[in-house]
Amino acid sequence: MLKRLRMIKDTASAIRKIHAAGGPKRVKLVRIEHPKGLVLTSSAAVVEVATQSGEVIRFTTALPLPFLYAWGYRLARGLHVPFVSDIDPEDISVDVPVPGWAWPGSKPSA
């Protein structure tokens, strides 16, 4: 519980830094961890944001997961279901450009 609260505080701090640096230019989902928690399930995600000023801000945030999704995932991994057990969520990475109009207060890029 304390770890989740610390992640929320770190995420809020990172968002303030991103806003102070002119907003995001690119957002990269570096890694997603396996679901944790029995009833209130969540996954930790490592996010890297390249800002308009060129600074790169990296932070870890907790992503809430639906109860049935998390337990279905665990059951499928335990039973070695082919597609689910072959893919490791920690290997997933996505890099997405952010349009200028998507961040409040930022200038549209030409």
- Could you list the mean pLDDT of each consecutive 10-residue stretch along the chain, which spans 110 residues? 79 90 88 84 89 90 86 86 75 75 59
| Interatomic CA distance for residues 54 and 25, integer angstroms | 8
Q: Please give the pLDDT value at position 110.
A: 47
- Helical segments of the chain, H only: 2-20, 67-78, 82-86
The region that residue 80 occupies, defined by phi over 0 for left and psi between -120 and 50 for alpha, beta otherwise, is left
- Count the helix, strand and coil residues of the chain and give each as a percent rounded to the nearest 5: 40, 30, 30
Q: What is the structure's pLDDT at 106?
A: 57
The verdict on pTM exceeding 0.75 is: no
Question: 10 Å Cβ neighbour count for 40?
Answer: 12
Token pair in block for residue 28:
């990269």
* Integer CA distances (angstroms), 83 to 73, 93, 103, 110, in order: 11, 18, 36, 42
